[in-house]
Amino acid sequence: PGAKTLFFQANIDNGATINAIDLKAFNQASRNLRKLTKSTCILRMANGTKVPSHGVWTGTFQWNKAKVRTLFEVFNGGGTWNVPIGKPLLEQLQAKHDYETDTIIIS
């Protein structure tokens, strides 16, 4: 059907090599999102455990006026995060991080 706008609490992790959505957050919104596609990605958590991806969500991500088509791996993060935004999306948005003010700037 038609596109829906969903809002998630996101965290920036400019050291992360992927964008991710926590499985619980995805499941709560899944009726309004495209189905997942297969993934073989395994995420190594901060404590060293390895967590397999439940799949990849592909869709349009909007941050203020910037919109990009991107993808997110869906993992069971155990509720420690909802949507960590990593380098792939930050690069797509051509984001700049001002470390002095801890501000993300999107052109």
**How many CB atoms are located within 10 Å of the residue 41 CB?**
15
| pLDDT tens-place string over residues 50-84 | 999 999 999 998 888 899 999 999 999 887 788 98
Q: Is 90 helix (H, G, I), strand (E, B) or coil?
A: helix
Q: Hey, what CATH class is 10-99 in? A: mainly beta
CB-hemisphere CA count at 13 Å for 24?
Answer: 8
- pLDDT at residue 24, rounded to an integer: 92
Produce one character per residue of 48-87: b if its CB has 16 or more CB atoms within 10 Å, e if not.
eeebebbbbbeeebeeeeeeeebebbbbebeeebbbbbbe
* DSSP string across 56-78: EEEEEEEETTEEEEEEEEEE--T
| pLDDT tens-place string over residues 27-52 | 988 888 889 999 999 998 878 989 99
| pTM of structure | 0.84
Q: Tell me if 57 sits within 8 A of 74, measured CB to CB.
A: yes
Domain borders along the chain are 10-99
| pLDDT tens-place string over residues 80-104 | 788 989 999 999 999 999 999 999 9
